[in-house]
Structure 1
Amino acid sequence: MVRKTAWHPAFHGALGVELRKEQRFAHMMPECLLGKEPLRIDLLLIKSDPSYHFQNEIGHLWRTYNIIEYKGPDDSLTIDAFYKVIGYACLYKGCGQKVNCISAEEITVSVFVTRYPVKLFKQLSAIGVTASEQYPGIYYLTGKIPFPMQIIVTGKLSQSAHSGLRILSKRVQKEDVRRFLEETKELTEQGDCDNVDAVLQASAGANYAAFEEIRRDEDMCEALRRLFQDEIEEKLATAKAEGKAEGKAEGEACGIAKGEARGMAMAEAGFVYKLYMKGQTPEQIAMLTDKPEADIRRIIAGKGMQTAVQY
């Protein structure tokens, strides 16, 4: 069975990386429910300070309440999808706890799409809606629409400013990946690391050949591995504690050494299985970890058996 790439969590991660310097001014709610029915906005971004103006050019249009729709590499931005996201904004406006507590003047709509929507822009022009490129890859819509709206074509965004969004593609450019790794290698906060992890998981899964070339670059490969260093160190610390307990019977130094070795094995197996459960194939995991594919398959089989026994 072919595993689908989880593009939406990756997009949330990429946008989190984009806004990491300004995150205190925004509260992002993925899969936001609209009322009691199962209608969900891909991402609702509410400014924590309505007077704040985002420095990131993607956020220049934003006001207090910002409806965000994401179309992954396998999705098309059609005229119906265009009206649907406007409908989401209208529903959000009408679902406030009090009458007019959400001002229409404070709502914006942003749609992220991988490819330039040629057909949609022609159809919009025919109904009196004009798309103008405000910044590279960022198109503001004007005309017969109820809210300020922009369409962001991630493949046309500035290479120097938006590498995280640019690599959410099935035709990734290696330079974008290298730039993203370089820009994020110093991030240490757990939320930032989780966002970077989500972006790389999706991009690596969809661009095996490109990441295989990057893996051969020792510096870049180390940057990939560093993303999981915290998790490995945590499991190693736990194993060291277990090793000290065993040391009572075998001699403390020997017990600690055993604990450390077992800890590294546990961390490695957990890392491999985590990648597998997120949609990576054994071949792709072997590429990322620089281990033989046969070893990867044995680890996956062993972890799967452990999980089955636990349940």
Structure 2
Amino acid sequence: MGKDKLQWHPAFAAALRITLSEEMKYLELQEEYLLSKAPPKIDILAIKKLREIVIQKKIGRIFRGHNIIEYKSPEDVLSVNDFYKVYGYTCFYQSNTEHVREIDPKDMTITFAGSHYPREMFRHLQEVRNITIEKKSKGIYYLQGDAIPMQYLNLKELDEDENYWLQVLRTNLKAGEEIRTLVSNYEKNRHSKDYSAVMNLIARANWKQMEEEKGCVTH
């Protein structure tokens, strides 16, 4: 099955909701949030409903009131241009309100998420914008030195215990134990729309491995 038309973003949003499920009562996630009546769009806008609540999951500890999230599919690498695009969208989002400072700039964050270490982008930020890159925990890098708090999530490096469904958003799952664990974890939650959305995408992205594992089971 071809992978060229796989829709990764809805599955990422679903996996994000699963990962933050215990604290979703404090968050509102809006997918492909429209910055105006026509594109451009923000991949995910996470608005914290109660400002005093601190998100306990490591990927959300940086969150403030308004959190812009940019996701790159497994084939894509976050580029310097991507950084400025998202930063620009964030500034536009802040300013596109009826009243001045209706959204406090200090109440915003940016999260970038992908499956590859963005070496060129990090180098540019360090050399041109004097931003330092600090690894806070497995797969979580804080981009420090800007007025807007920012982080990069390297999905394949994240702590599996907290971020399993973000980690398996890949095209290179292995037949055998890895696929069996995936199916087992899904079966426990198969009636959830979010779990179904993630599983459907993963199955299509790893079609050969899934078929190989199915063949092993039937034999």
TM-score, length of structure 2 as denominator length: 0.89
Residue 53 of structure 1 aligns with which residue? 54
Question: Shift of the alpha carbon at 1:4?
Answer: 1.0
Are residues 177 and 108 of structure 1, via their aligned partners in 2, closer, same or farther at CA, if it must alter by over 3 Å? farther
Q: Which amino acid aligns with 1:197?
A: S
Cα distance in 2 between the residues matched to 1:195 and 1:177: 19
Cα distance in 2 between the residues matched to 1:217 and 1:136: 34
Cα distance in 2 between the residues matched to 1:181 and 1:22: 25
Are residues 56 and 213 of structure 1, via their aligned partners in 2, closer, same or farther at CA, if it must alter by over 3 Å? farther
Question: Shift of the alpha carbon at 1:208?
Answer: 2.0
TM-score, length of structure 1 as denominator length: 0.64
Cα distance in 2 between the residues matched to 1:44 and 1:176: 31
Cα distance in 2 between the residues matched to 1:47 and 1:148: 15
1:130 maps to 2:132: yes
Pairs within 5 Å for 1:1-311: 2=2, 3-127=4-128, 128-143=130-145, 145-173=146-174, 177-187=179-189, 193-215=192-214
Question: Shift of the alpha carbon at 1:180?
Answer: 4.5
Aligned residues: 215
Are residues 97 and 185 of structure 1, via their aligned partners in 2, closer, same or farther at CA, if it must alter by over 3 Å? farther
Cα distance per residue 1:168-215 (max 9 Å; x no partner): 112225655544544454337x6xx11111111211112123323443
Cα distance in 1 between the residues matched to 2:11 and 2:94: 27
User: Could you say what secondary structure the match of 2:160 adopts?
Assistant: coil
Unmatched segments (≥5 aa) in structure 2: none
Q: Which of the pair is proportionally richer in strand?
A: 2
Question: CA-atom RMSD, angstroms?
Answer: 2.2
Q: Which amino acid aligns with 2:124?
A: Q
Q: Could you tell me the percent identity over the aligned residues?
A: 33
Cα distance per residue 1:38-86 (max 9 Å; x no partner): 2110000001111111111110000010000000012220001011111
Are residues 37 and 171 of structure 1, via their aligned partners in 2, closer, same or farther at CA, if it must alter by over 3 Å? same
Q: Which of the pair is proportionally richer in helix?
A: 1
Are residues 178 and 36 of structure 1, via their aligned partners in 2, closer, same or farther at CA, if it must alter by over 3 Å? same
Unmatched segments (≥5 aa) in structure 1: 219-289, 291-311
Question: Shift of the alpha carbon at 1:216?
Answer: 5.5
Q: State which structure, 1 or 2, has the greater radius of gyration over its C-alpha atoms.
A: 1
Residue 167 of structure 1 contacts residue 176 of structure 1 at CA under 8 Å; is this kept in 2? no
User: Could you say what secondary structure the match of 1:52 adopts?
Assistant: coil
Question: Shift of the alpha carbon at 1:32?
Answer: 0.3
Cα distance in 2 between the residues matched to 1:56 and 1:217: 37
Residue 28 of structure 1 contacts residue 46 of structure 1 at CA under 8 Å; is this kept in 2? yes
Cα distance in 2 between the residues matched to 1:108 and 1:178: 37
Q: Which amino acid aligns with 1:133?
A: K
